[in-house]
Amino acid sequence: MTQQPNGPDGDDRVRPWRRPDFLELVLTTRAESREGSEADEFGWQVWEGSIYAAWYVDGGVREDLPTDGSGWRGSDPIHDEDTMKLVVGELDRWMRRLDLDDTSDLLEAADAIAQDLLDVVEPIAGRDDVLTQVCYDLTDQDWIDRLLVLRVAEVIPQVRGWGVGAWASARSVQLLAPDAGTLMLTKAAPRDRTPFLADPDRELSPSEQRAWTATQNKIAAYWCQTLGLTPLPDNPAMLIGTLDTMEDAMQATLAVWQRR
């Protein structure tokens, strides 16, 4: 997953808002195929989430509250009695049952969707011992029967620095993972390498590679802290976890935005 470490007042071009009073996450399922079917999403259950920030308002116009067109993809605030809500971000979650006897099936299902999904899945499914031994050892979990890929989490600049994306990610795990047999997986890296490249037609130079690696390490540390994820030993940008290993960190992250 990506995350932006800058605070809400870290960008002079963005007018800071008052900190939201509470958050909400609305999840909708986009597609669910029959197991093994290639007619829809190759066995994936796809969940899309809208992240809402909400403010209590007393009437009148407040300069420190959102205005029309200031939300995610230019959305307008929604007014309901004494509350204003606004979509401030989104996330994608991809879930699939695991067949540990045939991990190539997982690779094929990811490859059929998109390269970025394959990039996330391949480190655990490309070698049988990683999925069936390393993941077990790191999570102290002796059975895994499904995979939940934390694919995307993004928020608008005005709410960065308040842990909104972390809260939404923790809430999505809480809602979607049915038990400790669900393996959470994400890749801690920016979505685009272009800002790190002086020339997009070639590979990263040594200095660019160091900047890319440092950024991944920073993002990985954030998700380890806020969600309790654990990096793979041979690939520290790849993070895994289960409900058991993530519980303490997730509860602390959720508590920051507990509705009063």
Cβ distance 21 to 56 under 8 Å? yes
- In the chain, the amino acid numbered 229 is L
* Residue 2 pLDDT: 61
Q: Do the bridges between strand 78-80 and strand 45-56 make them parallel or antiparallel, or are there none, so unpaired?
A: unpaired
The H or E element that residue 238 is part of is: strand 235-241
Residue 174 Cα to chain centre, angstroms: 13
CA distance linking residue 158 with residue 146, whole number of Å: 35
Q: Please state, in angstroms and rounded to a whole number, the distance separating the CA atoms of residues 89 and 91.
A: 7
Spell out, as residue ranges, where the chain has pLDDT lower than 70.
Answer: 2-15, 31-41, 59-61, 191-195, 197-198, 200-201, 259-260
Which segments within 78-211 are labelled E, that is strand?
Answer: 78-80, 83-97, 146-155, 182-187
Q: Write the single-letter amino acid at 141.
A: Q
Report pLDDT for 15. 67
Query: What pLDDT score does 8 carry?
Result: 38
Residue 201: predicted pLDDT? 67
Identify the pLDDT of residue 81: 84
Whether the Cβ atoms of residue 143 and residue 131 lie closer than 8 Å to each other: no
